[in-house]
Amino acid sequence: MIAIEDLRLMVLLARSDSLSAAARALNVSPPALSTRLRRLETRLGVALANRDARRLSLTPDGERLAQECVELLERLDALPEAFARHDQPLVGTLRLAAPFGYGRQRIAPLLARFASLHPGVRLQLDLRETPWPDRHDSDAVIHIGAIEDSSWIAKPLAHNERWLCASPAYLAEHGVPGEPQDLLRHRCICIRENDEDVTLWQLRHAEERRTLRIEPALLTNDGSVARRWAEQGQGIVLRSEWDVADAIARGALVRLLPDWRFDRAPITLLVPARKQRSARLQALARFLDRAVKGLEADTDAQ
């Protein structure tokens, strides 16, 4: 028979890079944890993990068991909600993953408000460079950009246009581009993210479309760094409106070619289908939908 402690052990192993890291999380010694794992493997009659002193990886059977354990623990965790009255306070843990910049600037303040409304909910915000739901350790994920393939349910939060911007100082020295082709003569700043071809800029105006291959003067994987470079007069940047709207409002950046549109980078909440019934997750989804749309309305009014 598999105990709840075994379920938790498998989930922890799936999220750990080494046996030592898993042992530290459980506050036990690596030999003691290794013994627990061997006993579970003997009970099931299969190998669950490949491990050495520095690395831990689950076997295919281990991966399958870990996923089953995640779902079983989620169902156990959701049982109190299933029998709770609608007017009872929300309780339990919510794990949300988000990109570094947007998560830090926009999502973290919103989660503080949500925590004040629901003090019984334990919130965890995991900021990542590319928070794609690939390890089953998040209840929901904030994703920015197109979604090519996902078994998770996508809940759109904001359209999020991308704007072309530069500082007044840069434009005074290098001139203002009047049409897309002029960008090829300017210093451009590119952001490398989500494995996209970031040097290929596609624009449209009415029925006309243009495609430009940019040779970046500066390249980074951090959008906030790219925006600061632009504010410092280093070049022209193509950035999400949520990140540059404040800089434009205070005059640190100027929007360029406003009649042209670039491909959007929509902001989406991704939720696994099996967690749709969680009352606290539904409450968070409704809250973020209203709050993010409110932020988008404030940006449009500026």
188 shares its domain with 237: yes
Are 223 and 241 within 8 A, CB to CB? no
Same domain, 175 and 256: yes
pLDDT of 163 strictly over 90: yes
Measured CA to CA, the distance from residue 121 to residue 112 in angstroms comes to 11
Q: End of a domain among 55, 80, 105?
A: 80
Final residue of a structural domain among 60, 80, 100: 80
Residue 133 shares a structural domain with residue 275 = yes
Q: Tokens for 158, please give them.
A: 């904001």
Pair (251, 176) in one structural domain: yes
**Do 101 and 55 have their domain in common?**
no
Q: Are 14 and 154 in a shared domain?
A: no
Say which CATH number the domain at 18 has: 1.10.10.10
Residue with tokens 């192993």: 13
Binned at pLDDT 50, 70 and 90, residue 298 comes out as low
Indicate whether 10 and 135 sit together in one domain. Answer: no
Per-residue pLDDT tens digits for 258-287: 999 988 888 999 887 665 567 888 899 999
- Provide the CATH number for the domain around residue 122: 3.40.190.10
Q: Are residues 76 and 96 in the same domain?
A: no
Highest mean pLDDT among 55-59, 75-79, 147-151, 168-172: 168-172
Return the closest-CA partner of residue 178 out of 260, 263, 251.
260
Separation CA 83–CA 81 (nearest Å): 5
Tell me the three state secondary structure of residue 173. Answer: helix
Same domain, 152 and 181: no
pLDDT value at residue 170: 97
3-class DSSP state of 101: helix
CA gap 235, 188 in Å, rounded: 5
Instruction: Please tell me whether residues 63 and 182 are part of one structural domain.
Output: no
Q: Which domain holds residue 203?
A: 162-262
Query: Based on the structure, what is the number of domains in the chain?
Result: 3
Q: For the segment 48-85, what is each residue's pLDDT rounded down to a tens digit?
A: 988 765 678 888 898 888 888 877 877 777 666 666 55
Q: Looking at this protein, which amino acid is placed at residue 126?
A: D
Last residue within a domain, chosen from 80, 101, 116: 80
Q: How high is the pLDDT of residue 17?
A: 79
**CATH number, position 237:** 3.40.190.290
- In this structure, the chain runs to a length of 302
Distance between CA atoms of 151 and 243, rounded to whole angstroms? 29
In the prediction, which pLDDT does 88 show? 73
Pair (231, 273) in one structural domain: no
- Residue pLDDT, tens place only, 206-244: 888 999 999 999 999 888 899 999 999 999 999 999 999
pTM for this entry: 0.68
* 122 and 238 housed in the same domain: no
Three-state SS for 286?
A: helix
